C-alpha cells in the first residue's frame, strides 16, 4: 500500500504555549478507513488539523502526497488532496446558498465556470444534496443536511483523503447511520477516510484501523480488532471498547476477545455450543 500521508516526529504547541502533540509518527496509505480516538484533550483533533495543513508543525513534518504542509503557498495544492469537515458544519459554511457554498472551493482554485458547475453537480449528487436545495441558505437546513453540504463542498475539490471531525455528534441514530454509510461509500469508491470520534460503536462498525492517543502521544495504532482486544491499554486513554466487545472479554475464553458486533457474538456462541456438544 502506498503511503499518501506521512507524519514524522511531529510536535505541536499552541500559540499560547500549550503543548499538544509529542513526537507523532503515523503513516496512512491509499483508501484506508482510520479512526482517531482518545479522551478530550488527548490531541486527536489537533493531529487531524495538522494532517491537512490547518495547523503547521512546531517541529517535525507532515507530508501529503509529496507536499510538505510547512511550505509556502501550498494551500491550493493541499485542498485538492486532503479535505477537512469540521465537527460543527456551521464553522465552515459561510455562503448564502447551497450552490455557492459547494462552488466556492473550485472557484477559488480558478477553474472554469463550466468545470465549476460540473463539479458542483457531481459533488452534490454524491453527497445526497438535491438540486432543489441549491438556492437555499445552508443555515436553513437541518444539521444532517448542513453536514452533507459541507462534505459536498470538500468533494467538489476532489481530494483523495477526507477527514471528518465527530461525524455523528448531535445526530440521532438514523442520521448517524446515514452519515457513516455515506462515508463508507466514499471509502469504497477509493477515498481515504479519517474520522475523529468518541463513538466506539461507530469505530467498531466502520473503521478498519484505529489510532488511539493519550496526552498528545500515540498509544496504540493497529487494526480496529487488535486495538479493541487490548482493554487495559485502552483504559489509559479513558476509552472503552464497545459494549459487545466488553461482554466477550468477560466470558472467560468462551468467545474471542476481539468481537466487534452482535452478529460476530452470535456466530461465536454457535461455535461455542458446537464445541461443547462435540465434547459431550
Cβ proximity of 129 and 148 under 8 Å: yes
Rounded to an integer, what distance in angstroms lies between the CA atom of residue 104 and that of residue 156?
9
Instruction: Average the pLDDT over each of 42-51, 77-86, 138-147, 259-268 and give the range with the smallest value.
Output: 259-268
**Which backbone phi and psi does 125 adopt, to 5 degrees?**
-65, -45
**Which backbone phi and psi does 68 adopt, to 5 degrees?**
-80, 120
User: For the chain, which residues make up each domain, given as ranges?
Assistant: 1-81+161-239, 93-158, 242-280
Position 1 pLDDT exceeds 60:
no
Cβ proximity of 49 and 36 under 8 Å: no
Partners of residue 221 on adjacent β-strands:
211
Helix (H) or strand (E) holding 217: strand 217-223
Position 3 pLDDT exceeds 80:
no
Rounded to an integer, what distance in angstroms lies between the CA atom of residue 177 and that of residue 198?
15
The residue that leads in pLDDT, 257 or 224, is: 224
pLDDT in tens, 228-250: 999 888 888 888 888 888 887 88
Fold classification of 1-81+161-239 is Rossmann fold (3.40.50)
Position 22 pLDDT exceeds 70:
yes
Cβ proximity of 187 and 179 under 8 Å: no
**Which backbone phi and psi does 244 adopt, to 5 degrees?**
-65, -35
The residue that leads in pLDDT, 144 or 201, is: 201
Question: How many Cβ atoms are within 10 Å of 48's Cβ, its own excluded?
Answer: 19
Q: Choose among 187, 174, 120, 123: nearest CA to 144.
A: 174
Residues 6 or more apart whose CB falls under 8 angstroms from that of 17 comprise none
**Which backbone phi and psi does 25 adopt, to 5 degrees?**
-130, 110
Does the predicted model carry a pTM greater than 0.85?
yes
Which cell goes with 55?
495547523
Q: What is the mean pLDDT of residues 62-81?
A: 92
Rounded to an integer, what distance in angstroms lies between the CA atom of residue 215 and that of residue 138?
36
Position 24 pLDDT exceeds 90:
yes
Q: Choose among 130, 116, 182, 181: nearest CA to 151.
A: 182
Amino acid at each position: 500500500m502506498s503511503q499518501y500521508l506521512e507524519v514524522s516526529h511531529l510536535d505541536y504547541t499552541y500559540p499560547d504555549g500549550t503543548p499538544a502533540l509529542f513526537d507523532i509518527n503515523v503513516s496512512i496509505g491509499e483508501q484506508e478507513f482510520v479512526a482517531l480516538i482518545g479522551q478530550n484533550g488527548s490531541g486527536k483533533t489537533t493531529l487531524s488539523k495538522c494532517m491537512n495543513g490547518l495547523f503547521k508543525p512546531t517541529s517535525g513534518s507532515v507530508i501529503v502526497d509529496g507536499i510538505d504542509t510547512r511550505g509556502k503557498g501550498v494551500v491550493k495544492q493541499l485542498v485538492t488532496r486532503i479535505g477537512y469537515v469540521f465537527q460543527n458544519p456551521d464553522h465552515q459554511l459561510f455562503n448564502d446558498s447551497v450552490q455557492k457554498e459547494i462552488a466556492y472551493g473550485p472557484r477559488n482554485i480558478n477553474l472554469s465556470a463550466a468545470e465549476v458547475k460540473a463539479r458542483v453537480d457531481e459533488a452534490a449528487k454524491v453527497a445526497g444534496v438535491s438540486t432543489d436545495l441549491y438556492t437555499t441558505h445552508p443555515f436553513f437546513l437541518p444539521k444532517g443536511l448542513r453536514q452533507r453540504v459541507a462534505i459536498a463542498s470538500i468533494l467538489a475539490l476532489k481530494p483523495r483523503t477526507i477527514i471528518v471531525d465527530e461525524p455523528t455528534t448531535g445526530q440521532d441514530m438514523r442520521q448517524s447511520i446515514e452519515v457513516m454509510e455515506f462515508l463508507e461509500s466514499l471509502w469504497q469508491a477509493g477515498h481515504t477516510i479519517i474520522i475523529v470520534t468518541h463513538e466506539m460503536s461507530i469505530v467498531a462498525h466502520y473503521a478498519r484501523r484505529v489510532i488511539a492517543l493519550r496526552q498528545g502521544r500515540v498509544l496504540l495504532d493497529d487494526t480496529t480488532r487488535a486495538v479493541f482486544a487490548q482493554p487495559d491499554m485502552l483504559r489509559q486513554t479513558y476509552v472503552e471498547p464497545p459494549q459487545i466487545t466488553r461482554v466477550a472479554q468477560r466470558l472467560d475464553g468462551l468467545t474471542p476477545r476481539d468481537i466487534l458486533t452482535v452478529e460476530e457474538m452470535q456466530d461465536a456462541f454457535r461455535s461455542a455450543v458446537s464445541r461443547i456438544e462435540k465434547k459431550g
